Amino acid sequence: MADTSLLSRRLKSFFDPQGSPTLLSLPDSFVVTACAAIVVHLIFKRWEPMKLPIVAFLLFLVPACLSLLFASHLSLTKGLATALATFYTVLVSSIVIYRISPFHPLARYPGPLAAKITKWWHAYHVHTGKQHLYVRHLHDQYGDIVRIGPNDVSIRDASCISSGLGSQGLPKGPMWDGRFMYSPIPAMVGARDHAYHMQRRRPWNRAFSATALKEYEPLIYGRVHQLVSALADRQGQVVDIAKWIGYFTYDFMGDMVYGGWTEMLRDGKDEDGLWDVVHRGLDVSAVYGEVPWVSYYASMLPNLGKDLKRMRKMAFDRAKQRYDSGSKARDLFYYLSNEDGAEKVTPPRPIVVSDGVLALIAGSDTTAIVTATILYSLLCNPTTYHRLQQEVDKFYPRGEDPLKTKHYKDMHYLEATINEGLRLFPATPSGTQRAPAPGKGDRLIGKYYIPEGTATKFHFWSIQRDPRNFSHPDTFWPERWLVAEGLEHADEPLTHNANAFVPFSLGPYNCVGKNVAMQEMRMLLCHLMHTLDLRFPEGYVPRAFEDALEDQFGFKVGELPVIVQRRE
């Protein structure tokens, strides 16, 4: 205390050596500190700095220096406390007042007060896993465009999809920086520059062409046969079929991306813990995508985001191993590493490895989710289940191989069933983020004005369950697709807006693996329907599966217990 008092007296003598009035009066010190806080707000609003030295200077050193103004009137400790309290109170107040004021660029759009003030409100709902339900509720309450953050909007208007996601649509938003923890090698899926994105995507387009798909079909064939055989060996038992489908998709993606990796189907379990690590990592990355700046600092601290870091490390290690070993077959790496010789310049190794990591995570989880939700919907609707089974039996009678794809193009009910599953349970229910590129000006998306820097999402869960787009929007009804194509007739007028169905997104940033995912689902459903009978166990409440769904950018599914019987 003696040292503090001495320092305080010296500071006072510095500001008031002759006992004359101090440099600034106490009220003026408050005014200067308040003005400094407002200036700092304007700096963050204009440039959004994230470099640690700059942020530390603005948020800590500036108010610490301003405390000297108060130290001439108060003790050093009280002066520091007063300066910090004044600075942060004014800074927070300035931010809040601006975000809810009529001067904010998004002031015209409604939304919850808490969401307008801070993105942490929406990040909380993402963390709960019920983002898809929450945002649908907001759209029902506020309309087709709703503010879900200080600089974020969600759109439910299907007429805006083409202008927002099409060839002249918005580039990717900043959420991808957060999801990938500001990786020095940006992921292809998050590339915001259009020309750079198209350059990175070229090998992916070759890898998922119709020719390449034929090369992957034997891999799908082998893994589907392995899955169905493993289920058949458990006849009469209760199995979690969602887990087994996950094993199938991860084993297949390991084959397709790296030429082999996991053997979950063989082992009947996740021996390496990959699935568990991926899911925990995706949970974290979903929140980081909403508040990207947190991800930036978490990447510097070893104990923050460790699940996400471990997930990426596992995939990176496998990708490096595959890169070093060279190709044994035409897997995805064969194209990504330019082993086909199509590119004049081979991409740098870090880019190839980064793309391999993306393929494993994006390609396995989404297909597993959609297939599990389709099976759930079929089991909840026995009439639909048996109609699909009858179509499979028609094209593949006893003794024929349902994994031979020659009849798939004529199996309209199979295609309708998959489409209906994708409509009800889109793989990315809350959509991917887009935003007008910084420095490129504001955009008009449909009838909505989107200011520069505004993160924009199209809420597919709401769009594809909107009664203005689809009759009986919350009902699993594959026949709607047959009626829309003129293959069947309905007893009532049908509302069917094909433009509102975008399960694989749209435009130059759409899902490059769509054809492979669709073929996986066709082959798996055909072989399951042909070989096995599935039913829920006695006493199981099917709604529990749907209630357990968690929207962590993509869905995370819980258990789906079924009893397996071989078909005679």
Tell me, yes or no, whether 503 lies in a domain: no
What secondary structure does DSSP assign to 33-82, as a single string? HHHHHHHHHHHHHHH----HHHHHIIIIIHHHHHHHHHHTTS-HHHHHHH
Contacts of 216-223 with C-beta under 8 Å, sequence gap 24+, read 216/256, 216/516, 216/519, 217/405, 217/519, 217/523, 219/252, 219/255, 219/256, 220/252, 220/519, 220/520, 220/523, 221/403, 221/523, 222/255, 223/248, 223/251, 223/252, 223/255, 223/265
> Chain centroid to CA 343: how far?
30
Q: How many CA atoms lie within 13 A of 107 on its CB side?
A: 10
Residues 67 and 152 in one domain: no
Tell me, yes or no, whether 123 lies in a domain: yes
Alpha-helical segments (H) within 76-168: 76-100, 113-117, 120-128, 131-142, 161-165
End position of a domain, from candidates 100, 135, 156: 100
Q: How many CA atoms lie within 13 A of 53 on its CB side?
A: 0
What secondary structure does DSSP assign to 156-221, as a single string? --GGGHHHHHSTTSPPB-THHHHHTTT-SS--GGG--SHHHHHHHHHHHHHHTSHHHHHHHHHHHH
Residues 447 and 532 in one domain: no
Distances in Å between the Cα of 506 and the Cα atoms of 14, 162, 164, 169, 420 are 67, 8, 9, 9, 18
Tokens linked to 267 = 């082992």
Tell me, yes or no, whether 468 lies in a domain: no
Output the pLDDT for position 17. 43
Nearest to 463 by CA among 508, 505, 414: 505
End position of a domain, from candidates 81, 100, 119: 100
Output the pLDDT for position 21. 44
Residues 393 and 330 in one domain: yes
- Report yes or no: 69 and 83 within 8 Å, Cβ to Cβ: yes
Residues 555 and 438 in one domain: no
How many C-beta atoms lie closer than 10 Å to residue 481's C-beta?
22
Distances in Å between the Cα of 547 and the Cα atoms of 138, 208, 385 are 19, 34, 22
Output the pLDDT for position 305. 67
Per the structure, the complete domain to which residue 18 belongs is given by 2-100
How many C-beta atoms lie closer than 10 Å to residue 415's C-beta?
19
Q: State which amino acid sits at residue 299.
A: S
Residues 148 and 159 in one domain: yes
Q: Give dist(CA 455, CA 32) in Å, integer.
A: 34
The mean pLDDT values, 10 residues at a time, for the chain of 568 residues are: 47 45 79 96 93 94 93 89 96 97 97 97 95 97 98 97 92 87 80 87 90 91 96 96 93 85 89 75 85 88 72 75 75 84 83 76 79 96 97 95 95 98 94 87 94 95 97 97 94 94 91 91 97 96 95 89 93
Distances in Å between the Cα of 444 and the Cα atoms of 148, 159, 383, 418, 436 are 19, 13, 45, 34, 10
Output the pLDDT for position 2. 44
Tell me, yes or no, whether 180 lies in a domain: no
- Beta partners for residue 443, in sequence order: 450
Output the pLDDT for position 325. 76
Residues 94 and 115 in one domain: no
Residues 37 and 51 in one domain: yes
Is 511 annotated as a binding-site member? Answer: yes
Residues in Cβ contact with 1 at an 8 Å cutoff, skipping those fewer than 6 apart: none
Residues 301 and 219 in one domain: yes
Residues 28 and 79 in one domain: yes
Reported pTM = 0.91
What secondary structure does DSSP assign to 361-416, as a single string? HHHHHHHHHHHHHHHHHHHH-HHHHHHHHHHHHHHS-TTS-TT-GGGGGG-HHHHH
- Report yes or no: 63 and 30 within 8 Å, Cβ to Cβ: no
Distances in Å between the Cα of 408 and the Cα atoms of 379, 432, 509, 522, 525 are 22, 30, 27, 8, 11
Tell me, yes or no, whether 501 lies in a domain: no
Output the pLDDT for position 332. 83
The number of domains in the chain is 3
Tell me, yes or no, whether 504 lies in a domain: no
**What length is written for the chain?**
568
CATH number at residue 303: 1.10.630.10
Tell me, yes or no, whether 122 lies in a domain: yes
Tokens linked to 107 = 């002031």
Q: Give dist(CA 14, CA 20) in Å, integer.
A: 11
Q: Give dist(CA 126, CA 134) in Å, integer.
A: 9
Tell me, yes or no, whether 77 lies in a domain: yes
Output the pLDDT for position 360. 67
Residues 323 and 222 in one domain: yes
Residues 407 and 518 in one domain: yes
End position of a domain, from candidates 56, 76, 100: 100
Output the pLDDT for position 245. 94
Output the pLDDT for position 364. 64
Residues 192 and 312 in one domain: yes
Q: Give dist(CA 258, CA 266) in Å, integer.
A: 18
